[in-house]
A = this chain, B = another copy of it.
Amino acid sequence: MNAGVNTVNAGSANVAERRLAPPSLAISTVIFALRPSESSGRPTLWLPLVQRIREPFRGMWALPGGPLRHDESLQDAASRNLRETTSLAPEYLEQLYAFGGLHRSPSQRVVSIVYWALVRPTEAALAEESENVQWFRADRLGELAFDHNAIVDYALWRLRNKMAYGSIAYHLLGEFFTLAQVREVYEAVLDRQLDPANFRRQIKATPEIEETGEYLQGGKHRPPRLYRFTGTPGLGPDNRSTP
Identify the A interface with B (CB < 8 A): 18-25, 67-68, 70-74, 95, 97-102, 109, 111, 113, 150-151, 153-154, 157, 161, 164-165, 236-237, 240, 243
Check B237 against A23 for contact (C-beta < 8 Å).
no
A70/B23 contact (C-beta < 8 A), A100-B113, A161-B243 known: yes
Check A25 against B161 for contact (C-beta < 8 Å).
no
Check B22 against A236 for contact (C-beta < 8 Å).
no
Q: Return the contact of A25 from the options B25, B165, B236 (Cβ within 8 A).
A: B25
A157 to B161, CA, bound (A): 18
Check B111 against A68 for contact (C-beta < 8 Å).
yes
Check B70 against A98 for contact (C-beta < 8 Å).
no
* Least CB separation from A158: chain B residue: B243
In whole Å, how far is A53's beta carbon from the nearest beta carbon of chain B?
A: 23
Check A20 against B70 for contact (C-beta < 8 Å).
yes
Residues of B within 8 A of A95 (CB): 97-98
Check B161 against A97 for contact (C-beta < 8 Å).
no
